[in-house]
Chain A
Amino acid sequence: MTAKFRKPTEDPIWLKALLGGLAFGFIAVLLLLPLVLVFKEALAHGLSAFWATMTEPDTLAAVRLSLTAAAIAVPLNTVFGISAAWAIAKFDFKGKTFLVTLIDLPFSVSPVVSGLIYVLVFGAQGWFGASLADHNVRILFALPGIVLATIFVTFPFVARELIPLMVDQGRDEEEAAATLGATGFQTFLRVTLPNIKWGLLYGILLCNARALGEFGAVSVVSGHIRGVTNTMPLHVELLYNNYDYVGAFAVAALLAMLGLVTLVLKSLLEWRYAGELAAMHRH
């Protein structure tokens, strides 16, 4: 008997091959093939056709609108995330668990419903629709509506990363700083911020990716005015529905690149600073 000894906790080779094959196959077909296809279709008619779409005024307007919406929504949600995490982690008050559940709520709401709620508030038949029209203020089918929808769908990203992280880190260091005479702002800047910087960056990264890529919620409030209220994902839809497949996949490739960059940065943060990310403790 020369059979090699196999540890009892190690799977037999046939099981390894079976499960490994299933896992690889599933990931390759389900996740990687669509990604490969995006880049292949974008370059189906060569680089010049790709470039022609990218430099079209409507595409540039869509890029500009997406960046503008993200540039407003992400900082606001970052300030909110820090503020919520500070209140929840550093103080005791009633209803804290309920507050955390409410902050997470936008994640479990369908993107379309996330857009719908603002239509019901600001739309022509909505709560403030008539008075907004009287004062000639445009919220829906304009930048403010797109920003609101973006804020809603990216609402919890920074907060849900910072809250568990800051709860874990406790209050001792901040209390020591305050006792030694530091102001609240100094305490935050010199003591809290260095402790949470990687978690904060992680939350902002995910928040930004979703802000640039959001489709459903923004689609409901945007009005789809080409070159005016079309964000990058909406422009993809418009080109695709107009049978401009190369154009649609060119803009999609740009969004996919953004997604890939996010994925690489996210993985780097997870590998290098695992101990300083709340996501790594929970997951």
Chain B
Amino acid sequence: MSAIGLKFAPLQSRHVLPGFKLSLGFTLFYLTSLVLIPLLALVLRPASLGLEGFWDAISTPRVLASLRLSFGMALAAAIIDSIFGFIIAWVLVRYRFPGKRLLDAVIDLPFALPTAVAGIALSTLYAPNGWIGSLLIGYGIKIAYTPWGVLVAMIFIGLPFTVRTVQPVLSELGLEIEEAAATLGATRLQTISRVVLPMLMPAILTGAAMAFARGAGEYGSIIFIAGNIPAVSEIAPLLIVTKLEQYDYAGAAAIGVVMLAASFVMLLALNGLQSWAAKRR
């Protein structure tokens, strides 16, 4: 084949299949009209307040407290979910026991159960007269209608992320490295903490970041259990709803922009984590 023929080969192959303009055109149209333009409406809205007005809108004690609660509890939930996510993934991958498939399927329950259902169930369960709440009240511990209720709901909805990111990496991890560590005299715990855990770190952090992002933005499963006391157990998404109900669109949009910016940062962090994981492989 001549040099010219070779040069043209990739260009020709692009035209073998039909539908490029149609499929990309529809994709861009659908994405722009339903996602990007509405998001632009959110980003532009606080502009009507000006920079100072925007700052005033988000720096009130009530707004700051709600942001602190949403992001702080999401971080705590992500850490707890990462620890239990690792333990559950370890048990599911390494141990053999009856009912393993069932247990594996149950992990996705928080994905499958609508958040309002989870919300009223958790609230009833942890209320002072509930199955769990009545046990804890004896020790003076209150979960429902306190900030701890927010934490419980966030742990619930975040768990699948942390299990499902670690599980496949763990099952692909060969046993050879652990055998080598054991041969060199490491105890079982040393092998797990010094050899296995570092190799799983990108996956663990990815799962934690996903659980954090989900928890910070979560609404449905939290509002029933939280009690929603302003500046105490009121999450940021609920404050957006409250401001909308008071027709304070700009104030709602200001909090929305902060939440959106946080989502972008998390998205960037997740992309960074993924390329880190790819490099280590």
The interface of chain A, by Cβ under 8 A from chain B, is 8-9, 11-12, 15-16, 19-20, 22-24, 26-27, 29-35, 37-38, 41, 76, 79-80, 83-84, 86-87, 90-93, 99, 101-106, 108-113, 116-121, 123-127, 148, 151-152, 155, 171, 174-175, 178-179, 183-184, 187-188, 206, 209, 212-216, 219-220, 232-234, 236-237, 240, 245, 248-249, 252, 255-256, 259-260, 262-264, 266-267, 271, 282-283
Contacts and interface: CB of A to CB of B under 8 A. Distances in A.
A108 B210 CA distance: 9
B220 to A, nearest CB: 4
Given A9-B178, A110-B217, A209 B120 contact: no
B237 A9 contact: no
Contact of A216 (B92, B109, B115, B131): B115
Contacts of A34: 113, 118, 121-122, 125, 156
Contacts of A282: 168
Given A152-B35, A174-B17, A220-B244, A123 B219 contact: no
Contact of A113 (B94, B110, B217): B217
B253 interface: yes
A212 B91 contact: no
A110 B41 contact: no
A87 B31 CA distance: 13
B124 interface: yes
Contacts of A108: 213, 217, 263-264, 266-267
Given A20-B95, A178-B18, A123 B249 contact: yes
A102 B249 contact: no
8 contacts: A8-B179, A83-B30, A104-B267, A105-B39, A125-B249, A236-B117, A236-B120, A263-B105
A233 B24 contact: no
Given A110-B219, A216-B115, A184 B17 contact: yes
Contacts, number: 290
A193 to B, nearest CB: 14
A24 B90 CA distance: 12
A267 B108 CA distance: 10
Contacts of B10: 92
Interface in B24-51: 24, 26-27, 30-31, 34-39, 41-42, 45
Given A35-B109, A110-B263, A121 B16 contact: no
B23 interface: yes
Residue of A152, A236, A264 contacting most chain B CB atoms (<10 Å): A236
Given A111-B219, A175-B16, A233-B220, A9 B182 contact: yes
Given A15-B189, A215-B115, 10 more contacts: A19-B95, A23-B88, A34-B125, A108-B263, A110-B237, A117-B42, A175-B17, A215-B114, A216-B219, A283-B168
Contact of A30 (B14, B20, B159, B271): B159
Nearest to A66: B114
Contacts of B263: 105, 108-110
Interface residues of B, number: 96
B42 A113 contact: yes
A246 to B, nearest CB: 12
A35 B113 contact: yes
Interface string B156-193: 10010000110110000001001100110000110000
Contact of B237 (A152, A183, A216): A216
Contacts of B260: 109, 113
Nearest to B169: A283
A99 B88 CA distance: 34
B259 interface: yes
Contacts of B148: none
B57 interface: no
Contacts of B38: 117-118, 120-121, 152
A41 B262 CA distance: 38
Contacts of B237: 110-113, 216
Nearest to B245: A220
Contact of A116 (B88, B106, B224, B244): B244
A249 B130 CA distance: 15
